Each structure stands twice: as structure tokens, then as C-alpha cells.
Amino acid sequence: MANQLLSTVAYHDSLPEGYARPEHDRPRLADVRTDTNIPLIDLASPDRHRVIAEIDQACRTYGFFQVINHGISEELLEKVMVVGLEFFRLPPEEKAKLYSDEPSKKIRLSTSFNVRKETVHNWRDYLRLHCHPLEEFVPDWPSHPETFKEIISVYCREVRLLGLRLLGAISLGLGLEEVYVEKVLGEQEQHMAVNYYPRCPEPDLTYGLPKHTDPNALTILLMDPHVSGLQVLRDGAKWIAVHPRPNALVINLGDQLQALSNGAYKSVWHRAVVNAEQERLSVASFLCPCNSAVICPAPRLVGDGEDPVYRSYTYDEYYKRFWSRNLDQEHCLELFRSQH
Ligand code: OGA
Ligand code: NI
């Protein structure tokens, strides 16, 4: 198994070999609570100071928040979800052409997380795309379904604008100049993961994605509004299910914003679980520093006479380190603490 796409098989009636986790590493779904209090921020609010303060508060505590009235139309969000699902329903021959296990490939369809490195697999197929600049990558994107390139390009463009707006608000919330974070990150790359989680015969034994933090700067997640699956770790101990909200986008901070904020903002652990009843699709957009960006805590956020929590490094160094590990090891940023 493993280098075979889950979505090419109609239905699995039992968990294939290689997917069951050992007893101590299972999702314990019965212990998970649903939290309807994940901060929900209305970006169209006329009180901009309040919006910035709410984002700041969410980034310090939850590391996750949802935005509504974000400027991306309901119709477009729906088209993205539909075309994403259609992609995974393509015939196996069509999907086989795009399959690759090589993490450095800029356009690829794969399964699990990193099948070359991992010992247990995850109940997920995913399409990964580089998205910026669009002109450079779109020609190599899947040409089926026929509307894929167009719908996803429009969405990528809008997501980027939203992401940059959020980075501006985040800079202000940290007490920095509005363009501070954007400047440090340089000409940011933008990647996308279209995650497909098929129905799973034994969801208590496996994950769609095991616990991880995102290695990039900011993630904007579009989720199926009817099927939950995303869970976030609260206070380092409790898993909370994020209740999907129609037309909202879920925002989470990646490791680079935790580093830039000198640890004030959190890149929190999260995971995706699967279920036996319904397939689930999510579309994650990642804003990533350019490879040569030098990331270090903003000097203004480091107290007088104190050492910055993290040393300075290039994103290239970080990203290579991230992909050389298993997803659910210690927080990758721990390897970049000043004293290391
Ligand atoms: C991710 C991720 C969660 C989900 O793609 O990094 O955390 O619900 N996805 O699919
Ligand atoms: Ni993630």
C-alpha cells in the first residue's frame, strides 16, 4: 500500500495494512470536545482598531481564528470545493500522471504525508500546487477538470490579497509597522494543498493528518461546511474540534510568525481526523517566506537585555529541516531556539 492513492479505490471496508496507529497514538475521538468559541472575526467591521485587537488576541491565545466578510465570494468558495472534489473523482489513469512522492516537486498528487519517510500512513490524498507567480505555475497545473485552472487561479489571487491584509493587521497588532512582516518575508511563495479524506472504515485507529504545525507563515483554510475534521490542541492538552461555519475561512499561524513574534504568537498543533460516514475536502493555502528570507524575532519584541527566543535562519534552512522529519515529532521551531 502507501504509494497508492486512496481515492482510486471505491471504498475500503477495512483499514489496509500500514494505517493503524499504535494504541498510545490514536485520536481518542470520544474525548474531543467541539468548541464553538474559536474566535470569529468580522473583517468588514468599520472598527479597524477592534479588528486588529481581536486578531492580536486570537494569535496570542488560540493561534487559530475564523474570518467572515473576508471579501471572497460565497459563489467562488463553493466552486473551489466542487472542482476540488471533481479532481479527486477523475479516473485513476488521469490521476496517475500527476502522482509523485518527491516533496520538492512543485506540482504533484500524493497520498498520506511523506510516504518515503513515514512508518505509518495517513488517510489522505492531496494535490499540492505552487501558486505564485501564477503565470509561472498554472500552465503545469492539472488540465482536468476543465475549469480547474481558472477557478483555482481566481481563488489563489484573492487568497493572496486576503493573506497580505491579514499580515498587515498582524504587524500592527504586534506594534510594528504595517508592512513589517510582509517585508521580512520577501516576495512570498504561495502553495496550496487540496486535501481529500475519503470515508474511513476505522477512523478511531488512524488520522487524516496527525498532529503538526504548519512550517510557513500563514495558512488560510477553506473547509467543507458540512463535515468536521479539523482539531486544534488547546493549552497543550485538550483536542478541540473546529466546527465548520459556512463561508468562513480558518486562519492559522505558521511557525515563521511564531519566530518573528519572538514566541508571542502561537503556531499551534492541529490535526485532521477522518470519519466513516462522509468524505471530506479541505483547501489549504500557505503563504511562505521566500527561500532566502532571513527570519528572526523582530528586535522590537525582544526585551532589553534579553536574548531572542529563536536564532536567525533562512527559510530555506527551515523548510528542508521540516520535510526531513516526521510530521508529528517535536515542534520544528524547537530546533531553532537561541541556545541550540
Ligand atoms: C494542513 C492542515 C487541516 C484540514 O493542510 O496543513 O492542517 O482540516 N489541514 O485539512
Ligand atoms: Ni496544517
Domain count, the chain: 1
Domain that holds residue 305: 2-336
Is the whole-model pTM more than 0.85? yes
Cα–Cα distance, 231 to 214 (Å, whole number): 14
Cis peptide before 91 (omega within 30 of 0): no
What is the Å distance from ligand 2's center to 34 Cα?
A: 18
Residue among 3, 4, 46, 15 at smallest CA distance from 274: 15
Binned at pLDDT 50, 70 and 90, residue 1 comes out as: very low
CB atoms within 10 A of CB 221: 23
70 Cβ inside 6 Å of ligand 1:
no
Cis peptide before 145 (omega within 30 of 0): yes
Judge whether residue 2 has pLDDT over 70. no
From the number of C-beta atoms within 10 Å of its C-beta (0-12, 13-18, 19+), residue 271 rates as buried
Q: What is the mean pLDDT of residues 245-254?
A: 95
Residue 94 is part of a domain; what is its CATH number?
2.60.120.330
Residue nearest to atom 6 of ligand 1 (CA): 214
> Would you state the pLDDT for residue 36?
65
CB 258 within 8 A of CB 265: yes
Binned at pLDDT 50, 70 and 90, residue 328 comes out as: low
pLDDT tens per residue across span 257-300: 999 999 999 999 999 999 999 999 999 999 999 999 999 999 99
Binned at pLDDT 50, 70 and 90, residue 3 comes out as: low
272 Cβ inside 6 Å of ligand 1:
yes
Q: What are phi and psi of 49, to 5 degrees?
A: -60, -40
DSSP, collapsed to helix, strand or coil, labels residue 329 as coil
Residue 202 exposure: Cα atoms within 13 Å on the Cβ side: 13
What is the Å distance from ligand 1's center to 126 Cα?
A: 10
Residue among 180, 187, 329, 323 at smallest CA distance from 257: 180
pLDDT tens per residue across span 111-153: 998 888 888 999 999 999 999 999 999 999 999 999 999 999 9
122 Cβ inside 6 Å of ligand 1:
no
193 Cβ inside 6 Å of ligand 1:
yes
What is the Å distance from ligand 1's center to 2 Cα?
A: 19
pLDDT tens per residue across span 160-218: 999 999 999 999 999 999 999 999 999 999 999 999 999 999 999 999 999 999 999 99
pLDDT tens per residue across span 65-121: 999 999 999 999 999 999 999 999 999 999 999 999 888 899 999 999 888 888 899
